[in-house]
Structure 1
Amino acid sequence: MKYLKPILCLLFFSALFGFSENLKAQDGTESTSQIDSKQRSLITIASLTAKGDLDDLEAALTTGLETGMTVNEIKEVMVHLYAYCGFPRSLRGLRTFIKVLEERKARGIEDRMGAEASPVQDDRTKYERGKANLEALLKTKLDGPGTDYAQFAPIIEVFLKEHLFADIFDRDVLNYQQRELVTISVLMTIGGVEPMLRSHMNICLIQGLTPYQLEEAINLLEQHLEKEKIQSAREVLSSLLK
């Protein structure tokens, strides 16, 4: 851990002086992009679903399918994001996806379903599984005192561990890195949750995403989100890397 801060500082100053200009010069092709086509679709679909922009979502869903995402992967994005922006957005997104799939089927296009979530074979309680999953996300043990909100409302801590980090994160249709990309995309979209966005950007780094990839994720959403939300996300990332 003692080497982490200098490394992140170096990455930050490299990004500060070179990355933005490099991105402007890139043409957005797979060969120059820091994030791949599936990651771009994860980010865009999550954000548009959270925003409720169903017209643009239809196009993003089509792009996702045509660039290799399976039906079950896209469904899983929408199931995951309800934990951060609520059932109404998630359900409207799923209904929009049904419409897209039906229209494609009517044109003779059969989209690949992909793998279902594997059955959970673990004798631990859901709380224990959720705690273990969160520790795997953070790559550290959680043995200290609980957070202020957990002490104030203990039941929310139970729900977080048992439902979000056990029921949802145990589903292997998406991996941890993909789930965190979905999460930061939703948090950027809803706005006003900077402490949570910072925490989840940090998890993205822990899970192997680079500052360059996070910056590109922000840039990707620039066409869909208000300028204030994009600026806020950039400030959160800069603060994290310092």
Structure 2
Amino acid sequence: MSQIATLLVIDDEPQIRKFLRISLSSQGYKVVEAASGAEGLTQAALARPDLVVLDLGLPDMDGQQVLRELREWSPVPVLVLSVRASEIQKVEALDNGANDYVTKPFGIQEFLARVRALLRQAPQAAATDVAPSFGPLTVDLAFRKVTLDGVEVALTRKEYALLAQLATHPGRVITQQQLLKDIWGPTHVDDTHYLRIVVAHVRQKLGDDPTAPRFIITEPGVGYRLVGPEQG
């Protein structure tokens, strides 16, 4: 990478964080640390890391939940580093959006090689704007807050996840199947009625008339895209 990469390490074990900080710093990386899931999500928003190293056994929330919440607004590469070695845990982490999985104890040279590989694969992953605006509508991905004309809009978890997914790819059509997979999981890709209901609720809260939408545009039979009023 042309500039110094920032890596966020989310792990509640001080000795592991120290070991990783020394090892990663020796390779020229900037290291940011977090000892809990909540702190990790906050640092992911504030530090805008190029890669996240995530432990699954955190004191306040499971690392799988951290992954799911992070993926609602950030495409940053995630390398899971965990003592959990079962295939079920690995598959769940990958389904939740992890890019790679390393089990503890681990060899530092292999770990560093996997870090380099992930940074090469997605050098622009952390460049996403964390508060994209669509005219009077702003989706603050860092703080999970949506405002319309400066007033916060109260959304349910699924409603926010939908809007955040669309806001992450402004103007681009996101297919129904992709939205269902990302928000409800891979077993719900055919449950399009779930999606229609949530889209209807979000439109209602945004005052977005489906017959003349300002924000959420339906591409019949394909999916949805989020635009500003001047683009609709």
Q: Same fold per TM (> 0.5)?
A: no
TM-score for both structures, normalised by structure 1: 0.27
Answer 1 or 2: which has greater strand percent: 2
TM-score for both structures, normalised by structure 2: 0.28
Answer 1 or 2: which has greater helix percent: 1
